[in-house]
Amino acid sequence: MPDALSPDQPHVARRRWMAVLARADAAELSDALGSNGSLPEYRVLRGPEAGLVMVRGRTGGGGAPFNLGEMTTTRCSVRTDSGFVGHAYIAGRNERLAELAALADAMLQDPASQSRLLTDVVEKLAAAQQVRRDATASKAAATRVQFFAMRNMRT
Amino acid sequence: MSASIALPGFADPVGEAQATFRAVLDAMARPGRPQQAGERLAAPAPLDPATAATLLTLIDNETPLWLDHSAVPARDWLAFHCGAIIVDGPERATFALALSLPDLTTLSAGTHEAPESSATLILQIAALGSGTRYRLSGPGLREPTLLAAAGLSREFTAAWQQNHALYPRGVDIVLCAGTTLTALPRSVSIEEA
């Protein structure tokens, strides 16, 4: 992340927008969708419901896989009246976000509204998320300790 | 990810699955007695509510499911809501869904060491409570009882006698029609009345 958007690979594009939607803030996503015209009619197929998924890890990134622990996730699937099915899996327990993200996923699959939503919703949210990530990274970078001095002293 | 998942599952997944499980349990304990299931469920074509509710309750990703060809339109719905593993060969399935009586000998009858590993057939028929009358007797029935079912083929009693003779091996059947279901465990003997 962030992957480059490539129109000839629909799964890559969808993976990216689902990732952005899953990390979004519910109020932010609701505002972005709402300011973009009326929401389509839809019905919920499943959820939103919370559950656990097992997170697996590998020692050093390449060792034998082991179960790190379970994390809470919330999932939701909706179907718009125009027939598009959207899914969302959200880390943590946020049922409103899961439902909004699933609806946005369904709307993004509609070729009629896709490009408009990609620029007005997905890119906007991705930019905001990038700003937040950069801010955290720069705060963390300020506390970084360089150990070069000690190593140089020993040799 | 198919657009053919047009309908939701249970509105109250825990409560309705428990109620349906209870109905199937009671049906197995009292062969031929009708039970209600799926009254609040919008079932996908070609399934009836009782059939869909039974499947939602019993099927998950650890129970291979075989569909007869007329049940295939419900495939995406089952895969999405149950996480069902759909298998091609009936002999590998622990549950089978059929809209007309399949050849019972193709389904797994279990082994003498593990008769519980046999398949359960969920069979949707035209109607329960009308049609051909069958006399049931066996465990769970103090005296023989009558079951009326429409849409079971003519060969049913002969096929069932063959299945019943395998006891303790054999296939169990859950009959579904509309919002009614009833069960025919392998231990029951059936003759046309």
pLDDT at A7: 56
Give chain B positions within 8 Å (CB) of A77.
5, 80
Instruction: Count helices and strands (H / E) in chain A.
Output: 6, 3
- Beta carbons of A87 and B80 less than 8 Å apart: no
What are the Cα distances from residue A114, in Å, to A10, A20, A104?
A: 12, 15, 10
Domain range annotation of chain B: 13-192
Chain A's closest residue to B81, CA to CA, is A46
Tell me whether residues B1 and A87 touch, CB distance under 8 A: yes
Q: Residues of A with CB below 8 A from B7's CB? A: 45
Tens-place pLDDT, residues A38-70: 788 999 999 899 999 999 998 887 888 999 999
End-to-end CA distance of chain B: 48
A3 part of a folded domain: no
Confidence of residue A155 (pLDDT cuts 50, 70, 90): low
pLDDT, residue A62, reads 83
Instruction: Flag whether A133 is in a domain.
Output: yes
Provide the number of structural domains found in chain A. 1
Considering the domain boundaries, does residue A2 fall inside one? no
Report the SS3 class of residue A107. helix
Pairwise pLDDT comparison (A3 vs B13), residue with the higher score: B13
Fold of domain B13-192 = Rossmann fold (3.40.50)
Domain with A14, as residue range(s), is: 10-154
| pLDDT band per the 50, 70, 90 thresholds, residue A3 | very low
Count of C-beta atoms within a 10 Å radius of residue B152: 22
Cis peptide before B168 (omega within 30 of 0): yes
Residue A67 inside a domain? The answer is yes
Would you state the pLDDT for residue B24?
Answer: 96
Give the phi and the psi of residue A39 in degrees, each rounded to 5.
-80, 145
Q: Which residues of chain B have pLDDT under 50?
A: 1-3
What's the pTM?
0.82
Distance from CA of B134 to the nearest CA of A (A): 40
Of A44, A49, A85, the CB nearest to B1: A85
The whole-angstrom separation of Cα B148 and Cα B171 is 20
